[in-house]
Chain A
Amino acid sequence: MRRFSLASLLSEAVGGHQGWGRQWRAPEPKPSYDVVIVGGGGHGLATAYYLATVHGITNVAVVEKGWIGGGNTGRNTTIIRSNYLYDESAHLYEHALKLWEGLSQELNYNVMFSQRGVLMLAHNIHDIQSFKRHVYANRLNGIDNEWLSAEECKAFCPPLNISRDARYPVLGGALQRRAGTARHDAVAWGYARGADARGVDILQNCEVTGVRRDASGAAIGVETTRGFIGAKRVGVVAAGNTSRVMDMAGVRMPLESYPLQALVSEPVKPVFPCVVMSNAVHAYISQSDKGELVIGAGTDQYTSYSQQGGLHITTHTLDAICEIFPQFTRMRMLRSWGGIVDVTPDRSPIIGRTPVQNLFVNCGWGTGGFKATPGSGHVFAHTLATGEPHPINAPFTLDRIRTGRLIDEAAAAAVAH
Chain B
Amino acid sequence: MLLIDCPFCGTRPETEFRCGGEAHIARPADPSALDDGAWAEHLFVRSNPRGLHAERWVHAHGCGRWFNAVRDTFTDRFVETYKAGEQPSHPIDDARA
Give yes or no for direct A-B contact (beta carbon below 8 Å).
yes
Q: A248 to B71: give the CA distance in the assembly, Å.
A: 22
Known interface pairs A247-B94, A248-B96, A304-B76. Does A310 touch B2 (Cβ–Cβ under 8 Å)? Answer: yes
Which A residue's beta carbon lies closest to that of B14?
A310
Q: Are B73 and A303 in contact (CB under 8 A)?
A: yes
Interface residues of B in 1-52 (CB under 8 A from A): 1-2, 14-15, 18-19, 21-22, 36-37, 39-41, 43-50
B75 at interface, CB cutoff 8 A: yes
Contact of A244 among B2, B19, B50, B71 (CB under 8 A): B50
Q: A301 to B55: give the CA distance in the assembly, Å.
A: 12
Residues of A near B21 (CB, < 8 A) are 256, 303
Nearest CB on B from A340, distance (A) = 9
Q: Are A312 and B44 in contact (CB under 8 A)?
A: no
Instruction: Give the number of residue pairs across the A-B interface with Cβ within 8 Å.
Output: 82
Q: Are B1 and A312 in contact (CB under 8 A)?
A: yes
- Residues 299-330 of A, flagged 1 when their CB comes within 8 A of B and 0 if not, give 00111111010111000000000000000000
Q: Are A244 and B45 in contact (CB under 8 A)?
A: no
B59 at interface, CB cutoff 8 A: no
Q: Are A401 and B96 in contact (CB under 8 A)?
A: no
Nearest CB on B from A258, distance (A) = 10
Q: A345 to B74: give the CA distance in the assembly, Å.
A: 22
Nearest CB on B from A362, distance (A) = 17
Nearest CB on B from A236, distance (A) = 12
A257 at interface, CB cutoff 8 A: yes
Q: Are B1 and A308 in contact (CB under 8 A)?
A: no
Residues of A near B75 (CB, < 8 A) are 306
Most buried by B among A246, A248, A255, A303: A303
Known interface pairs A310-B2, A310-B14. Does A255 touch B76 (Cβ–Cβ under 8 Å)? Answer: no
Known interface pairs A256-B21, A303-B53, A305-B74. Does A401 touch B97 (Cβ–Cβ under 8 Å)? Answer: no
Q: Are A310 and B1 in contact (CB under 8 A)?
A: yes
Q: Are B47 and A252 in contact (CB under 8 A)?
A: yes
Contact of B40 among A256, A257, A302, A401 (CB under 8 A): A401
B95 at interface, CB cutoff 8 A: yes
A278 at interface, CB cutoff 8 A: no
Known interface pairs A244-B97, A247-B95. Does A306 touch B46 (Cβ–Cβ under 8 Å)? Answer: no
Residues of B near A254 (CB, < 8 A) are 40, 44-46
A157 at interface, CB cutoff 8 A: no
A164 at interface, CB cutoff 8 A: no
Q: Identify 14 new A-B residue pairs, CB closer than 8 A, beyond the known A243-B49, A246-B95, A253-B45.
A: A244-B48, A244-B50, A248-B96, A252-B45, A253-B48, A256-B48, A301-B19, A302-B2, A303-B48, A303-B73, A306-B74, A344-B44, A401-B43, A402-B36
Interface residues of A (CB under 8 A from B): 241, 243-244, 246-248, 252-257, 301-306, 308, 310-312, 344-345, 401-403
Interface residues of B (CB under 8 A from A): 1-2, 14-15, 18-19, 21-22, 36-37, 39-41, 43-50, 53, 55, 71, 73-76, 94-97
Q: Which 4 A-B pairs have the closest CB atoms?
A: A247-B95, A243-B48, A254-B44, A310-B1
- Can you sample 20 A-B contacts with CB below 8 Å? A243-B48, A244-B50, A244-B96, A246-B95, A248-B96, A253-B46, A255-B46, A255-B48, A257-B73, A301-B14, A302-B71, A302-B76, A303-B48, A303-B53, A303-B55, A304-B76, A306-B75, A308-B76, A311-B1, A312-B1
